[in-house]
Structure 1
Amino acid sequence: MTSTERATRTVPPAPTRPGEQRAPTYRLPKTPPAAWSPAGCRRRTWVSRAVLLLLLALQSALSLRLSNTAFQDEALYLTAGHAELAHLLQGTPSAVDYAAYFSGSPHLYPVLAAAVDSRFGLSGARTLSLLFMLGTTGLLYSFTRRLFNERAGLAAAALFAVMQSTVVMGYFATHDAPALFLLALATWIIVRTDRAPATAVLVAVPVAVLAVGVKYAAGLYLPTLVGLALLTAWPHQGAKAIARALLLALGTAGLLALGMHGTDLLAGVRRTTTHRDHGSDGAGFLLWQSAQWGGLMFLTAVGGAISYVRRSRMGESPLTWRLRDPSRRTRMLLGSLLCTTALLAPAYQVHLGTMVSLFKHIGYGLLFAAPLAGVGLTRLVGAHFRHPHLGIALWAAALCLGIAQADGRFGSWPDSSRMIRTISSDVNGNGHYLSSTPEVPAYYLRERTAHWQWRSVFGMAYTDRNHIRHTGDAAYRAALRDGEFDLIVLDGFTNPQVDRVISRALKGNPRYRLLAHLPFGNPSHDRADSLLRSALFSEYGGRYRIWVKQ
């Protein structure tokens, strides 16, 4: 101690009477009940947000690394959007009734995506989907944090961000990304207003209805939203939560009925969702595919639900012990609701017998199971990060699966760039064309041709020159015999049976000549056990075959 410090130090006065005690030079501070800050403090909030930003950056990198030309669904929605934009801005009538077979309103997402595509191209439309998926992950963190805590929210976001459905939809120009974002936003509103008056939940009504309008399959998750409205408010409002759930249900039903009144949306819902044709994919195969794409996260969510039912306390700090926990029954109902929701898409596709879009639809249910998966991951790590290696191993497994499955998905269709360059000089606004995936050339060559000029290999009706009507395979044979099409593009795997019919009808046909064989490699398939497709690739070598009319 320096001489200056000694001079300035305050010395307690000496005792004035014998036996009098000198005053203490310092006092011990009061010991806090916890050695760390409670949940909700400023430092903890900003650290959580920083980690969330890192997770969003990782999600962006995983999606942006994917690359391929437009998939037929992407090309279809963008082509429809350009047609709707032309109708809105220039009054150009659309020759195709998209509302009759779209699984979402053609006036919503396709128009937005086409506007972006007009300025930034396909990569811009795909980046739009990435923004929606990043918003979905952010909302997932927020309402999981509200339901449980920051750690569970970060764990849920970390798992959801690397799932193959999330990664693929984040760079896939279809209406799934905005529909999922709207479902997440409706869920966030419901969870965020759990202590507010019952009428506050009505803010979620237009958001949920808009999600259904963007993609009709989102309606499958409306009962889950109503259940969340009840269960999240019950610990705070008791029986009043029933009125909250009823308000949400009646408001959503009323707005949906109003939206369908006087429009053809109901016909579109029936044709593409509720009354669509059943496929031939077996239940075992569909369940196996679902387990591959979402089984790890689902099992983690089930484990989290069981752990949450057994022990509700989510915080390690003693400051949280006096908080009121939901009852065991409420916890059990919440866990059952969220885990069961993850099974809705696989169950419905088993009912339909088709795996079409299953790789995307499974992500809808995982959004609702993710909060419990976050709980499961945090409970696996343990209090005070007792077993971090277990959590790291689980997340690393999810990451590896997500990367491999996303790469396989984006490699499941051929690169069409060479094909488009080859046929661009042979199409115009007057011809009729046949293609395995007509949406792709219709999108890339929209300045030269219109969508109605292209026919697909999935069903056809044709009236020949003798006024005889043909359907199915006979329609293709009759049309080729009459030289109906000016150009034909087959890829050998989109519809192998019809491709065989067309190839045989073209063999020796004097009206057509073979223009090109363009190899594109052997795309990966969801049904690797398909003997027919394997035989086709052995025969055709995985290439586009292009014929032109002589």
Structure 2
Amino acid sequence: MSLTASRAALRDRWPLLAVLALQIGLAYLLANTAFEDEALYLYAGHRELAFLLHHTPTYDSYASYFSGAPFLYPVLAALVDGALGLEGARALSLLFMLGATILVWMTARRLYGRQPAIVAAVLFGVSAPTLFLSRLATYDAMCVFLLAVALWLVVRLARANPAWVLCAAPVLVLAAATKYASALYLPTVVVAAALTVVAAGGSWARAAVRGGLLAAATVGLGWAALVAWPSLRQGLDQTTVNRATGAEPLANILRLSAVWGGWIAVLAVVGVVVAARSQSPDRPRLPGTLLAAALTVTASFATLYQAHLGTSVSLHKHVGFGLLFAAPVAGLGLASAARLNTARAVPGFALGVCVLLAFYANHAVTPMYGGWPDSSGEVSALRPLVGPGSNQRYLVEENEVPRYYLAARTEPYEWLTTYYFQYTTKSGTSLTGLPAYRAAIHDGYFNLVVLDYGPTAALDRQLKAALRADPAGYRLVASVPGRTSHGTQTYDIWQRVS
């Protein structure tokens, strides 16, 4: 490429580079120790990797309860974590989300032009869900990136032979395998595969063939994957298909959805109106409107799914999946509202809105990222208390985090939890629940007991009473504070006396 061409390419793409720099800067304002899910997936990845390389037992059936295939993202992230630690694994997520922002730019540019693409990249790249996922070492960032790849492929190949759409099928299946809940968004890509053909001037028959090919290939590959790895079916059923429901008020789910992505959804609705009023010889009005509407409606999928489940757990992450599809249409809406044209740069109005939303997103995401405790004090206090030896047992309410940080000093089977426990007494009686914990404490079964009065707070208080009842058996060695954005959580660490 000549110097002149390089300069022209740089001038053309400098707004995208600025957005990516802003996304990186805002993401790295977020800091905390490992989240429970991060610790779980990275630890599982190391166990899966050890099994693949050395046939070391995992001591757990991750496929039975993970919301994605444990041999995909967890193994990839574990490789990075092994070389660069948690920050390296989080940087991997950032790279995935930067890639998604670039693909939003490319998709929007092909659909609506350069100016809407600039706005779409800003809206998506600095949204609260995007910033959150950019600093979270979980499945989500990889899955969003794969969905972005699939959407770009169907848009990019709209004028090509319909058979080329099959390139998107393995990407969609890989996205669904990475995180099962992403299957919710596969129909949108199929619909987009069909409508982009007609929007580009092709026939409805050609569109139907293209959409049908992609749907059939995706279903076929997905079925083949479940046949090849039947162990994934239990996790798919437990975490996605028949996930346990809650009773959280619908109003709260709607409010949180509005906080995390409502403004992009509103701008996307404006974009649908703009698409409906636009018409040119090579862009028929109806298919363009239907395409914009399909992408916009997708922004509501996470809210509808969580409302069906009656819970807002993970809503702040799942909203970001829908924003990926709505952002190009939102870019069209805001660009049109700002009266952009192909000969002008982004005017002050659009720039001001984007900057305002960036600050809003940072303000919204910071408390959420600090919502889990800083575990550095807990891990430091536990480090000298754990180590090699026979019959080491550590009862920790949320043991994923210390287990991850102390993996070099402990074994997976040494960690027990307050969510479920079965114990056989010296007389041979099998117990579960509170009686099992009390009997085990009475027998000095645990080397350490760590209570943080979180999800199993009621049980924790009963266990604390049992530990206090026999001071000759256990002693409180530390009460370690764990700072969060909404207060301080205390870890009470009890150690067996002898």
Same fold (TM over 0.5): yes
Query: In terms of Rg, which structure is larger?
Result: 1
Q: In the alignment, what sits opposite 1:191?
A: 155
Is the Cα contact below 8 Å between 2:115 and 2:346 reproduced in 1?
A: no
User: Residue 427 of structure 1: CA displacement?
Assistant: 1.5
Cα deviation, 1:18-49, whole Å, max 9, x if unaligned, reads xxxxxxxxxxxxxxxxxxxxxxx998754331
Q: 2:224 aligned with 1:254, yes or no?
A: no
C-alpha separation in 2, matches of 1:458 and 1:513: 23
1:453 paired to 2:420? no
Q: Deviations over 1:132-191 (max 9, x none)?
A: 111010011101111110111111000111111111111111111111101100111111
Please report how far the alpha carbon of residue 505 of structure 1 lies from its aligned counterpart in structure 2 after TM superposition.
Answer: 2.7
Structure 2 counterparts to residues 452-531 of structure 1, below 5 A = 452-510=413-471, 511-521=473-483, 523-524=484-485
Identity of aligned residues (%): 43
| CA apart distance, 1:397 | 2.9
Alpha carbons 2:476, 2:495 under 8 Å: kept: yes
Query: Contact conserved, 2:248 with 2:311, CA < 8 A, in 1?
Result: yes
Instruction: Give the match's secondary structure for 1:520.
Output: strand
CA deviation vs aligned residue, 1:116-138 (integer Å, no higher than 9, x gap): 11111111111011111110100
Residue equivalent to 1:156: 120
8 A Cα contact 2:181 2:240, kept in partner = yes
CA contact (8 A) 1:79 1:451 kept: no
Alpha carbons of structure 1 residues 440 and 135: separation in structure 2 relative to 1, 3 Å: same
Task: Classify the secondary structure of the residue corresponding to 1:190.
Answer: helix
Deviation at residue 414 of structure 1 after TM alignment:
1.3
* Distance in structure 1 (CA, Å) of the matches to 2:436 and 2:246: 22
- 1:378, 1:42 → 2: CA distance? 27
Distance 2:301 2:7 in 1: 39
How far, CA to CA, are the matches of 2:412 and 2:258 in structure 1? 37
2:282 to 313, 324, 335: 324
Residue number in structure 2 paired with 1:304:
271
Shift in CA distance, 387/213, structure 1 to aligned 2, threshold 3 Å: closer
Alignment pair present for 1:240 and 2:202: no
Question: Which aligned pairs between 1:78-97 and structure 2 lie closer than 5 A?
Answer: 78-97=42-61
Deviations 1:260-319 (A, max 9, x none): 10421122100111112112322211111111111111111111112221234xxxxxxx
Q: Which residue is equivalent to 1:410?
A: 369
SS in 1 for 2:469: coil
- Structure 2 residue identity aligned to 1:543: T
Aligned partners of 1:374, 1:218: CA distance in 2, in Å?
A: 23
C-alpha contact (below 8 Å) 1:492/1:499 kept by paired residues: yes
Using a 3 Å threshold, how does the CA distance of structure 1 residues 473 and 156 change in structure 2: closer, same or farther?
farther
**Which whole-Å CA distance do the structure 2 matches of 1:302 and 1:507 have between them?**
60
Q: Distance in 1 between matches of 2:271 and 2:440?
A: 59
Paired position in structure 1 for 2:349: 390
In 2, the alpha carbon distance for the partners of 1:505 and 1:302 equals 58
- Counterpart position of 2:379: 420
Q: Does 1:401 align with 2:360?
A: yes
Aligned residue for 1:33? none
Is the partner of 1:280 in helix, strand or coil? coil
What does residue 327 of structure 2 align with?
370
Contact 2:378/2:482, CA 8 A, preserved across alignment: no
Shift of 1:503: 2.4
- The 1:487/1:362 distance shift into structure 2, 3 A limit, reads same
**Structure 1 CA distance for aligned equivalents of residues 263 and 431 of structure 2:** 49
Partner Cα separation in structure 1 for residue 426 and residue 313 of structure 2? 37
2 CA distance for matches of 1:286 and 1:495?
24
Work out which of the residue numbers 223, 248, 263 in structure 2 matches 1:281. 248
List gaps (5 residues or longer) in structure 2: none
Distance change (3 Å), C-alpha of 1:412 and 1:548: same
1:266 to 206, 225, 233: 233
1:9 corresponds in structure 2 to: none
In the alignment, the residues of structure 2 paired with residue 197 and residue 351 of structure 1 have an alpha-carbon distance, to the nearest angstrom, of: 39
Quick check: 2:115–2:340 contact (8 Å CA) kept in 1? no
2:157 maps to amino acid: T
Higher helix share: 2
CA RMSD of aligned residues (A): 2.0
- Alignment partners' CA distance in 2, 1:277 and 1:415: 29
2: distance between equivalents of 1:146 and 1:125?
32
Q: Which amino acid aligns with 1:302?
A: V
Q: Shift in Å at residue 472 of structure 1?
A: 3.7
Q: 2:21 aligns with which of 48, 57, 67?
A: 57
Secondary structure, aligned partner of 1:180: helix
Checking the alignment, whether the CA contact within 8 Å between 2:377 and 2:481 is kept in structure 1 is no
The C-alpha deviation readout for 1:399-437, integer Å capped at 9, x for no partner, is 122111221122111111121111112113541112122
The CA deviation string for residues 339-362 of structure 1, in whole angstroms up to 9 with x for no partner, is 211111111111112222111111
Deviation at 1:50, TM superposition (A): 1.5
- Contact 1:436–1:491 (CA under 8 A) maintained in structure 2: yes
Structure-2 separation of matches of 1:504 and 1:281: 31
For residues 46-91 of structure 1, the C-alpha deviation after alignment (integer angstroms, 9 at most, x for no partner) is 4331110111111111112221111111110110011111111222
**TM-score with structure 1 setting the length:** 0.84
AA at the equivalent of 1:357: S
TM-score, normalising length from structure 2? 0.93
Partner of 2:132, secondary structure, is: helix
SS at 1:397 equivalent: helix
Q: Is the 8 A contact 2:226 2:232 kept in 1?
A: yes
Separation of aligned partners in 2, 1:232 and 1:337: 11
Q: Counterpart in 1 of 2:137?
A: 173
Q: What is the one-letter code of the residue matched to 1:241?
A: A
Aligned length in residues: 485
SS in 2 for 1:237: coil
Contact 1:439 1:451 in 2 (8 A): no
Please tell me the residue identity of whatever aligns with 1:515. V
Q: By how many angstroms is 1:441 displaced?
A: 0.9
